[in-house]
């Protein structure tokens, strides 16, 4: 915000980006599982400057009752940004952007969760963005998937998410806020690493067919990096010797 276009060098001649990363390097990612006492499962993620908390409740009774499904459980998801999470205060009421993101995150998690095991129940996933940076929907999804696993809900696979994009005519992994504002394209992707299926895919910005292919491949590689960090977080929670 307030930074002029000409002030930022998005990609220098050595292939180093505005925050010092290489083109295929994600930001620092830290995930901790089981951070909340009352939720059935929870996770906290720091993904670059993103700080996001996810809590999972359920399977539990559905209210209102008419939403219940008799042959399988339902998944509900709320992605919410705190008013203080961005430079200018955000109205706390859910925006159209947040409602859309909640929907795509839900649909990205649904293929992984074995909802057919829990008819007439709901699994609620609550995501609170405490501080937002570029790529918050991917970071939110990463935390939500770990929280679901932490809650012990049967899953077919983990869901790992990472964005790729086009900056200074180059396809790069995990674009940050500046690159999102000034770059040419942003493509968030969620991926089930073992089933090899993309469960979330969005794109803003123009790509040639070849760039599109490269961008999906780059993002999937990012998802595989995130997957290892998610696994590590769960192993630390369940097998680590650090006291919880």
Binding site for another protein (CB under 8 A): 1, 96-97, 99-100, 102-104, 107, 110-111, 187, 191-192, 195-209, 212-213, 216-217, 220
Which is nearer to another protein, 42 or 218 (by Cβ)?
218
Cis preceding linkage at 100, omega within 30: no
Closest CB 191 distance from another protein, rounded Å: 8
Rounded to an integer, what is the distance from CA 185 to the centroid of its chain? 18
Cis peptide before 73 (omega within 30 of 0): no
Shortest distance in whole angstroms from residue 110 CB to another protein: 5
CB of 55 to another protein, least distance (A): 20
In terms of CB distance, is 49 or 212 closer to another protein? 212
- Residue 30 or 206: the one with the smaller Cβ distance to another protein is 206
d(CA 119, CA 70): 5
∠ CA 74-77-82, nearest 5°, is: 165
Residue among 166 and 237 whose Cβ is closer to another protein: 166
Contact 79, 101 (CB under 8 A): yes
**In terms of CB distance, is 33 or 153 closer to another protein?**
153
d(CA 110, CA 115): 8
Residue 211 CB, nearest approach to another protein (Å): 8
| CB of 215 closer than 8 Å to CB of 205 | no
Q: Which two tokens stand for residue 137?
A: 């929907």
Closest separation between CB of residue 16 and another protein, Å? 27
Q: Whose Cβ is closer to another protein: residue 217's or residue 228's? A: 217
Is residue 61 within 8 Å of residue 121, measured between CB atoms? yes
* DSSP 3-state of 81: strand
Residue whose pair of structure tokens reads 């939110």 in the numeric block: 140
Shortest spacing between CB 154 and another protein, in angstroms: 16
């Amino acid at each position: 915000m307030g930074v002029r276009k000409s002030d930022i060098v998005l990609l220098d001649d050595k292939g180093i980006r505005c925050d010092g990363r290489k083109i295929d390097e994600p930001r620092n990612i830290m995930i901790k599982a089981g951070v909340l006492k009352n939720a059935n499962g929870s996770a906290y993620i720091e993904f670059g400057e993103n700080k996001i908390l996810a809590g999972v409740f359920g399977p539990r009774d559905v209210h209102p009752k008419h939403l219940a499904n008799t042959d399988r459980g339902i998944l509900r998801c709320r992605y919410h940004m705190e008013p203080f999470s961005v430079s200018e205060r955000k109205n706390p009421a859910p925006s159209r952007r947040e409602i859309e993101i909640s929907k795509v995150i839900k649909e990205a998690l649904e293929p992984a969760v074995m909802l057919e095991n829990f008819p007439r129940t709901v699994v609620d996933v609550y995501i609170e963005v405490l501080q937002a940076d570029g790529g918050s929907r991917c970071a939110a999804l990463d935390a939500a998937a770990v929280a679901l696993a932490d809650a012990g809900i049967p899953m077919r696979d983990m869901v790992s998410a990472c964005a790729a994009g086009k900056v200074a005519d180059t396809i790069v992994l995990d674009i940050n806020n500046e690159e999102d504002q000034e770059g040419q394209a942003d493509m968030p992707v969620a991926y089930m690493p073992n089933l090899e299926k993309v469960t979330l895919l969005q794109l803003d910005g123009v790509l040639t067919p070849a760039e599109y292919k490269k961008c999906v491949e780059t993002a999937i590689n990012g998802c595989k990096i995130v997957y290892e960090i998610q696994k590590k977080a769960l192993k630390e929670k369940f097998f680590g010797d650090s006291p919880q």
